[in-house]
Structure 1
């Protein structure tokens, strides 16, 4: 029985060794973090797996070996000479193989497909190739905030600027490193501006800068009643007349926008209503000068009817777009999810699904009666 297990052990070790192709053993250069299986045939007590340390060395039975940059074959010779010279084994048959692991890197943050990407140990990869593995940068990526987080003992965090006009940084990404791209904040400018839509910002941006980036205001813009909707749903109104552009009083900072905020510039000549239709108590037009969140719009329409479906409402934008959303409350703030209605939009509240028990009972009666008739006919 002992002979059987010894033979089985030798076969397993031989398989592990053969599983590492000879050509790979002669070409691949060992790197820090690699795991090596050192096997001595017939001497199971000398069979161990060791990991290459950050200094490129391994420890095997008290012996220190500098293996970083060496091939598997070269390490095999080093171990054999060590065992013979230190009188561990007289004529050892040593087999060293690289334990192939699913090595990879993690790319996260503002990329199109964040996740872990498996790469072979010999792959030489830089920041640009690592980001390309994740589909490239997302629309809200902060190119000046690309972080490379080392997972070795140093735990070093480096930040790089990958702006389009910057020189190409020659930065290598090692196995198990993390690449994280900081996302920019998003603010929205709507109403009487030349280029309404989203703006990507780093930190805060003044209202003056936000309007400038949106192309400036239109001729029909009412700058005396500009509305800011905060991320928390709070509404603030500003008078952006000429006096607004003067320097603020000492100690005060000018109004600004940050991630999640919305700025709405109304029309000075007309007030477009927001329409609330469907299963609300008082459907119809609600004349307002600025945006409303879902809760405010439904409240102006008298609230929900008992048969209203609060889990699925539909918004028809004045530009023709349609959005399906939910009147879902945030338990912490008592506010619905931050979805805003602008003048000219239509909020449609649907009817929730209800079981018609009268119809169900009628169908059940018909089915049971039919089964009874079939049974009678087959007797």
Structure 2
């Protein structure tokens, strides 16, 4: 482009600088001469797409590097050692990088990914206002004892029937369930339903890291193993007590960390990330199924007040509650079984006033946190947390 421009401009200057030839004497004896051709013109054509760009400005660091003494002097370049060429593709063992003839079976994959459709179908959704505890209890009871589950034979019960069996009457939305629904309450109500329908079962804390009902010796790894074993069993069900809510786990998945392990028959420790599938009973603000990292669930269970972790909003991280009380955490996994009868019913009868779990309400109906403590009930006091300050 620059060359064409320069050539055109010079040609134009040459043509304009040439002197005009002297005019010839008119010849009257010859016919009129033809008209003189027009003066030659030159055109400069630029093919550039925009204004000419200037040179890049040399940065201060580049100037310092050029002025420094690290430059290779003449003759030193020949002395420099040349690195050998490396065939990157040959570094990987094809037998490892490209899995073939895998021995994996359906049974192997079932141990890694377990989603119990029957558990999910038994989830009672949508709940009434603040009835997440009763709705979750209805879900696990139907899975264990009704014909909706794998081993039951009784007709399924609705959450409305469950509430009337427990002594409540409609309108159910007007009942402040959160003020008296807690971990111990749900276990006692489970036995009330069993007594009403003439069946037996057992309810207990499966995993609780702090406070009343703490499961001593249950580490995060041990909890992962027992939750997986329970979800594979047709005779067990769980209720997960999380921030301001109760939910129903329905399955799990061990997600491989390496691509080549996608269909590996087994995964060793550290080769996978465990996830939980959790059924949601709330009224529609959340999806019907949560898929959460087990590590996040462990973070929730292991927190102590004033710290807390909302499993349904993991993006918020560990948060701080406005409270003067410290220590304790009511969040846990409650286990329910239909193959073992409870041998100590007195513990639930004696715990009638031993509640103190907070109002585990649906988030849509959650009350604002208070900055001043209120009287704590027995179980909250044992956990070192007031009923209002927890959730």
TM-score (norm 2): 0.21
Computing the radius of gyration from Cα coordinates, the structure with the larger value is: 2
Q: Which has the higher contact order (CA 8 A, sep 6+)?
A: 2
Q: Indicate the structure with greater helix content.
A: 2
After TM superposition, the score normalised by the length of structure 1 is: 0.21
Determine which structure has the larger strand proportion and give its number. Answer: 1
